Amino acid sequence: MQLDAKIPAGPIDKKWENHQFDMNLVNPANKRKYKVIVVGTGLAGGAGAATMGELGYDVHCFTFHDSPRRAHSIAAQGGINAAKNYQGDGDSIYRLFYDTVKGGDFRSREANVHRLAELSVNIIDQAVAQGVPFAREYGGLLANRSFGGAQVSRTFYARGQTGQQLLLGCYQALERQVAEGRVKMYNRHEMLDVIVIDGKARGIVTRHLVSGKIEAHMADAVVLGTGGYSNVFFLSTNAKGCNVTATWRATKRGAGFANPCFTQIHPTCIPQSGDYQSKLTLMSESLRNDGRIWVPRKAGDDRPAHQIPDDERDYYLERLYPSFGNLTPRDIASRRAKEMVDAGHGVGPMKNGVFLDFRDAIQRLGKETVEERYGNLFQMYDKITGEDPYQVPMRIYPAPHYTMGGLWVDYDLMTTVPGLFAIGEANFSDHGANRLGASALMQGLADGYFIIPLTIGNYLADGPRGGVDENHPAARDAVREVKETQDRLLSINGSRSVDSFHIELGRVMWNHCGMSRTESGLREALQKIPEIREQFWSDVRVPGSGDDLNQSLEKAGRVADFLEFAEVMCWDALTRDESCGAHYREEHTTDEGEAKRNDEAFSHGAVWEFNGVGQEPTRHEEPLTFENVPLSQRSYK
Amino acid sequence: MKLKLHVWRQSGPRSKGDFETYDVEDVSPSMSFLDLLDLVNERILLDGGEPIAFEHDCREGICGSCGMMVNGVAHGPEKLITACQLHMRSFSDGDEIWVEPWRARSFPIMKDLVVDRSAFDRIIEAGGYVSIRTGSAPDANAVPVPKPDADRAFDAAACIGCGACVAACPNASAMLFTAAKVAHLSYLPQGQAERLERAASMITVHDEEGFGNCTNHGACQEVCPKGISVDYISRLNRDVFRATLAGVGVGRD
Amino acid sequence: MRRVMTLYRSSVGKKIMMALSGLILFGFVVGHMLGNLKAFESWDGVGPHPLDTYGQFLREFGYPLIPEYGLLWGVRIALLVAVGVHILAAVQLWSQSRSARPDRYRKEKSQVFSYASRTMRWGGVIVAAFVVYHILHFTTGTVHPDFEYGSVYENLVIGFQNPLVSGFYVLAVGALCLHLYHGLWSVFSTLGVQNPRVDRIRRPLAAVISAGLFVGFAVVPVAVLAGILTLG
């Protein structure tokens, strides 16, 4: 596997500019002759499809949802970063770049991150022009807030629904291209394979989720904007449909998968309320600005919160991190909460949460101010738990939320399979080992609106143009394989539901490859996963047929892929024998119990090559160099 | 809690459907309504049946995928939530619950509780956007937008496209959905250039898709999980009227 | 005209026509009620009653500039057109709505704003039937027991002395006012009158106006039955 990142020459702030000039161009009159497939209609896929359509490419866009507007980008709450420096508080492209590299714990590619910071400003212009109703000040100009512990106010937001508004902007742009006939939408089509011909991605295989029709779609290039894989844990804040299928099938066709063990756990989610639960709900991180996190000092203390006097409460984040207190970064806040619960200090009926208490904030600021700041979040919490956060402290617990890992891509966002591109959360590029708050939307849109529409031309200018159709042997083989897998799933007729396997896998992954990891735990997981997989393939029950709407069958295919992918994740976590960012190996901690990086041995991206199901994948490395941001240890004391 | 659930089962778009009854025990009040359906499905599956098909995704009330009539009310008895945010504590032990799909000619039933809402996409396609080329936008702060306008635009833009408005409307009208998008863009300076054409062309497609008309019943506003106001319909009407006066054709010749 | 026709083709256009024709009819209803109240004007018992004089004034308005009955027929034609448009639009909208939901809900709990909005269509039919009766009763006298052309007051008193007829009138006027209540505030919405200040008082205003109309109309038959209005 060749890993050439193709980073353009020149100083960091000139690389993208130079590259835009150096790239090959496709003649405008010829663009319509190039067919591009885009899979996924979230911020990255939707923006990419819309812009490529606008440029004149013949775009065919696929989503498994009933409408492009349902993509999970819609659920992002907090905001989107941009180095606009509208607040005049010293922000700059360089500072955003610096913060992102450092926040990612030095496991991302400098050149990509700098480009992201440069493009961040264009995104806001674009979104506002589309009619995205960002929050505004009374003077009519855009408002900003500081988010996730950033030292500057660079986050643009639309109440708690920034992702929704940005996605709708993007969806509208996409529908405009559909109306103009430049993008053809394929709703309710799930991508199930990539077709590779002569080493190049030339199409995909899809299943129409209503008619069950499995067919090949050919193209000159394929772009995956298919999101992340947090649902490998079963319980996560991701939508139920989020899955690894597209990126995993690409991996099986030769695309390298980078840093799969970099998964982010969000500290402020509502704890699980019972075994029946299918999904965890995120509460905006902004709650930590005023809420105080604590647990009872005594393990197993069953008293209601208000009966526990202050000296019997442990405000552990304030105790351990006097200067950052409750605002420590996501990974630290999450890990400490888990430690507390594991040590028996958990609260709530299932003893699986910690308190996030607004008692003092209400006393200090008054109920009205608290309501103004967090009213909608309190209401949401009340709806879900039936508890009133004005009266009793909220209970929170960390939950899987975002995956920094993804398909390895070069500077042009192309995977190791020529003609196959990955954008947004589906690729690994910009966040390193830990993503900063409000950076996911930024990356998705930068990739979709501003990068892929240009870099795809660089490939297509002297890449494929037609010449293959659905009858090509490779296409027919791929279709046949997909059908075989489906038939196999339908014929097992075992005794357990798909969900029960997913839950079982999720538990293994959460326990051994979740917030903190150990060598022995990962080895145990590597033993258990194949066992679950084997059981799945001999005892799963998928009712119905493949010829109509069959949600059990859809789920089965996705869980089957998780069961293969999970192993690579564990291999990655095992071989990355250091702690960095969200990847926390208990063996590698500082004296204070913080993550301890090993830059000499692991300053690289780990890229996995598929060798067959159940076979140990091959690990490749893309060395990372840091010329612009000096390597340093994070400290939040 | 113990509940009796009557769920509409229909195997395909053209087949005849009917209610099927499921007795469910061990329902926890902290379950969501969709958790309950999951639970029922797990049992149906293990009993050798085919699980109930229903659409869902984010399960936090923002993606707009889920939606069903629960005891005759779109998204169920509580205000300002989607079906996935409905929790079983809103019911009591022994309750009977009737679950039906959205019903409208423009939302054909595909299976059980799943309907086809692609008509909404086509309404947006007709003009629910600002024609702006990527990369050509002026600086975001070049045009100030008064805060009250931005807030009103946001209130309209909060629509999640779930279809509850159509489901609840006695006329199966999608006027609230259409109006929300027209109003959202009409409050912003960026949306002015195409304002009248947008209203005229979106309402034309709305009618062509076979939705009913608005008779100001207000049922849509009552069930809208995002609380979108019927006042936006009034704004839509005005824009359509103005479009006619300006000679922008409504309907197709 | 072409613009009006294209507008009419859309559902919003039909609604706008409905609102405009409704407004015309509303104006007539208000005028009619004010005219009715002339029944209470003092009368010496001999000579023509002020109500009769008013009737004559309507018949002879503008004469000789315009022919006798000119205004009356002008208004009648305008009203007929308005009624026609109103009913035509209503029928078309109703059929559009019906076809928009061919398959009804098996279980449904209405979420509509008010009883008035729910009864618009049947209420409209009842009002229309009443209007026909009313014309046969007091305009042509066809169903009046003792009709005398031009003696408006006498016809009115004799007509209302039958408690069944009076009761029916009060009920019908109630239906009309319920129809107007929903119709009136709908007009604001349909015609796009949008102003946060107006929005808030839309409903109360509609309620006050329709209640006022109800009292104005109902007071006449009630007064006849109560013996306040007599043949003199």
Tell me the domain boundaries of chain C: 2-101+113-225
Q: What is the mean pLDDT of chain A?
A: 95
Closest CA to A442 of A422, A424, A415: A424
What's the rounded Cα separation, in Å, for the pair A604 and A625? 8
Give the Cβ contact number of residue A625 at 10 Å. 10
- Is A90:B106 a contact under the CB 8 Å cutoff? no
What's the rounded Cα separation, in Å, for the pair C159 and C166? 8
Share of chain B above pLDDT 70, in %: 98
- Is A207:A85 a contact under the CB 8 Å cutoff? no
What's the rounded Cα separation, in Å, for the pair C217 and C231? 19
What's the rounded Cα separation, in Å, for the pair A231 and B130? 35
Q: Do chains C and B touch (3 or more CB pairs under 8 A)?
A: yes
Q: Tell me, what's the pLDDT at C47? A: 84
| Least confident residue range of A124-128, A300-304, A508-512, B99-103 | A300-304
Instruction: Tell me if residue A385 falls in helix, strand or coil.
Output: helix
What's the rounded Cα separation, in Å, for the pair A5 and A601? 20
What's the rounded Cα separation, in Å, for the pair B165 and B172? 8
Contacts of B161 in chain A (CB under 8 A): 67, 69
Residue A330 burial class via C-beta count within 10 angstroms: exposed 0-12, middle 13-18, buried 19 and up: buried
Give the Cβ contact number of residue A183 at 10 Å. 26
- Give mean pLDDT, residues B107-129: 98
| Ranges of H-type helices in chain C | 2-9, 11-36, 50-60, 70-100, 115-118, 120-134, 152-160, 163-190, 196-225
pLDDT tens column, A366-419: 999 898 888 888 988 998 999 999 999 999 999 999 999 999 999 999 999 999
Closest CA to C116 of C162, C199, C178, C41: C178
Interface membership of B15 toward A (CB under 8 Å): no
- Give mean pLDDT, residues A100-124: 97
What's the rounded Cα separation, in Å, for the pair A408 and A260? 10
Cβ contact B98–C9 (<8 Å): no
Closest CA to A242 of A15, A401, A414: A401
Give the Cβ contact number of residue A343 at 10 Å. 10
- Number of helices and strands in chain A (H, E): 17, 19
Cβ contact C102–B105 (<8 Å): yes
For residue B90, is pLDDT > 90? yes
Confidence of residue B151 (pLDDT cuts 50, 70, 90): very high
Q: What is the mean pLDDT of chain C?
A: 91
Residue C95 burial class via C-beta count within 10 angstroms: exposed 0-12, middle 13-18, buried 19 and up: exposed
Q: Tell me, what's the pLDDT at B253? A: 52
- Is A42:A227 a contact under the CB 8 Å cutoff? yes
List the 309-328 stretch of A: residues with Cβ below 8 A of B: none
Share of chain C above pLDDT 70, in %: 98
For residue A595, is pLDDT > 90? no
Instruction: Tell me if residue A392 falls in helix, strand or coil.
Output: coil
Domain limits of chain B?
3-100, 118-245
Domains of chain A plus CATH, in order, are 266-400 (3.90.700.10), 475-598 (1.20.58.100)
For residue C114, is pLDDT > 90? no
Neighbouring subunits of B (3+ Cβ pairs under 8 A): A, C
Give the residue numbers of A marked as catalytic: 330
C-alpha angle A63/A64/A68, rounded to 5°?
45
Instruction: Tell me if residue B94 falls in helix, strand or coil.
Output: coil
- Give mean pLDDT, residues B230-250: 88
Is the peptide bond between C64 and the residue preceding it cis, with omega within 30 degrees of 0? yes
What's the rounded Cα separation, in Å, for the pair B115 and A239? 19
Chain B, nearest residue to C120 by Cα? B215
Closest CA to A329 of A439, A438, A437, A230: A437
What's the rounded Cα separation, in Å, for the pair C106 and C194? 37
pLDDT tens column, A191-206: 999 999 999 999 999 9
What's the rounded Cα separation, in Å, for the pair A89 and A100? 18
CATH topology identical between B3-100 and B118-245: no
What CATH superfamily is the domain B118-245?
A: Alpha-helical ferredoxin (1.10.1060.10)
Confidence of residue A592 (pLDDT cuts 50, 70, 90): confident
- Give mean pLDDT, residues A555-576: 98
Q: Tell me, what's the pLDDT at B250? A: 66
List the 556-615 stretch of A: residues with Cβ below 8 A of B: none
Cβ contact B172–C101 (<8 Å): yes
- Give mean pLDDT, residues B47-76: 97
Cβ contact C113–B233 (<8 Å): no
Q: Which of A275-279, A401-405, B249-253 has the highest mean pLDDT?
A: A401-405
Q: What is the mean pLDDT of chain B?
A: 95
Q: Between 3.30.200.20, 3.10.20.30, 3.80.10.10, 3.30.360.10, what CATH number should domain B3-100 receive?
A: 3.10.20.30
Of B74, B233, B247, the CB nearest to C3: B247
Q: Which candidate in B15, B33, B38, B57 is best for mutational testing of the A interface (most A CBs within 10 A)?
A: B57
pLDDT tens column, C25-41: 999 999 999 999 999 99
| Least confident residue range of A57-61, A604-608, B245-249, C118-122 | B245-249
What's the rounded Cα separation, in Å, for the pair C205 and C212? 11
- Going edge to edge, which strands form the sheet with B3-9? B18-24, B3-9, B96-100, B69-70, B73-74
Q: Tell me, what's the pLDDT at C45? A: 79
| Least confident residue range of A40-54, A278-292, B187-201 | A278-292
Chain B, nearest residue to C93 by Cα? B213
Dig out the tokens for C192 from the structure: 């796009």
- The enclosing H or E element of A44 equals helix A43-55
pLDDT tens column, B200-239: 999 999 999 999 999 999 999 999 999 999 999 999 999 9
User: Residue A397's beta-bridge partner residues?
Assistant: A269
Confidence of residue B249 (pLDDT cuts 50, 70, 90): low
pTM for this predicted structure? 0.96
C-alpha angle A264/A265/A268, rounded to 5°?
135
- Is B226:B80 a contact under the CB 8 Å cutoff? yes
Instruction: Tell me if residue A297 falls in helix, strand or coil.
Output: coil
- Give mean pLDDT, residues A571-582: 96
Chain B, nearest residue to C108 by Cα? B72
Dig out the tokens for B27 from the structure: 């329902």
- Is A99:A92 a contact under the CB 8 Å cutoff? no
What's the rounded Cα separation, in Å, for the pair A471 and A475? 6
Confidence of residue C3 (pLDDT cuts 50, 70, 90): confident
What's the Cα-to-Cα distance from A514 to each of A158, A504, A532, B131, C185, rounded to whole Å? 31, 14, 18, 45, 59
Confidence of residue C44 (pLDDT cuts 50, 70, 90): confident
Confidence of residue A157 (pLDDT cuts 50, 70, 90): very high
Its CATH class, for the domain covering C2-101+113-225, is mainly alpha
- Give mean pLDDT, residues A64-90: 96
Evaluated on CA atoms B11, B12, B16, B21, the torsion sign reads positive
- Is A582:A331 a contact under the CB 8 Å cutoff? yes
Dig out the tokens for A307 from the structure: 């009966």
Residues B140-144: contacts with CB under 8 Å, at least 24 apart = B140/A84, B140/A124, B140/A125, B140/A127, B140/A128, B140/A129, B140/A134, B140/A142, B141/A84, B141/A86, B141/A141, B141/A142, B143/A128, B143/B189, B143/B190, B144/A136, B144/A139, B144/A140, B144/A141
For residue B46, is pLDDT > 90? yes
What's the rounded Cα separation, in Å, for the pair B142 and A458? 33
Neighbouring subunits of A (3+ Cβ pairs under 8 A): B
In this predicted complex, what is the ipTM? 0.97
- Is A487:A546 a contact under the CB 8 Å cutoff? yes
For residue C197, is pLDDT > 80? no
What's the rounded Cα separation, in Å, for the pair A38 and A185? 10
C-alpha angle A210/A212/A214, rounded to 5°?
130
Q: Tell me, what's the pLDDT at B230? A: 93
- Is A620:A1 a contact under the CB 8 Å cutoff? yes
DSSP per residue over B127-190, as a string?
T-S----TT-PPPTTSS---HHHHHHHHHHHT-----HHHHH-TT-B-HHHHHHHHHHHHTSGG
Interface membership of B124 toward A (CB under 8 Å): yes
User: Residue A221's beta-bridge partner residues?
Assistant: A36
Cβ contact A171–B124 (<8 Å): yes
Closest CA to C213 of C185, C188, C190, C181: C181
Q: Tell me, what's the pLDDT at A589? A: 92
What's the rounded Cα separation, in Å, for the pair B51 and B38? 9
Dig out the tokens for A479 from the structure: 């279709």
List the 40-59 stretch of A: residues with Cβ below 8 A of B: 47, 50-51, 54
Give backbone dihedrals phi and psi of B31, rounded to 5 degrees, phi first.
-70, 150
What's the Cα-to-Cα distance from A124 to each of A185, B140, C165, rounded to whole Å? 26, 6, 71
Q: Tell me, what's the pLDDT at B252? A: 61
Query: Which single residue is written with the structure tokens 């490779």?
Result: A474
Q: Tell me, what's the pLDDT at A485? A: 98
Closest CA to A59 of A50, A68, A67: A50
What's the Cα-to-Cα distance from A359 to each of A306, A362, A367, A393, rounded to whole Å? 9, 5, 10, 7
Q: Tell me, what's the pLDDT at C112? A: 76
Q: Tell me, what's the pLDDT at C203? A: 85
Give the Cβ contact number of residue B251 at 10 Å. 19
| Ranges of H-type helices in C105-195 | 115-118, 120-134, 152-160, 163-190
What's the rounded Cα separation, in Å, for the pair A114 and A121? 12
